[in-house]
Amino acid sequence: MSVYDRMKDRDVTLPEPPRAGAVYAPVKQTGDLLFVSGQGPFVNGVARYLGKAGAECSLEDAHDAARLCILNTLALVEQHVGDLDLVKNVVKVLGFVASAPGFNQQPEVVNGASQLLVDLFGDKGWHSRSAVGTNELPRNITVEIESIFEV
Site string for a copy of itself, 49-88 (x = CB under 8 A): ----------------------------------------
Residue 10 touching a copy of itself (CB under 8 A)? no
Please count the residues of this chain forming the interface with a copy of itself, following the rule CB under 8 A.
58
Asked if residues 3 and 117 have their Cβ atoms less than 8 Å apart, the reply is no
Residue type (1 letter), 150: E
Asked if residues 28 and 35 have their Cβ atoms less than 8 Å apart, the reply is yes
Taking the C-alpha atoms of residue 135 and residue 133, their distance in angstroms, rounded to an integer, is 7
Residue 148 touching a copy of itself (CB under 8 A)? yes
Asked if residues 107 and 99 have their Cβ atoms less than 8 Å apart, the reply is no
The residue ranges that bind a copy of itself (CB under 8 A) are 20-28, 30-33, 35-38, 89-94, 96, 98-99, 101-108, 110-111, 114-115, 118, 126-140, 144, 146, 148, 150
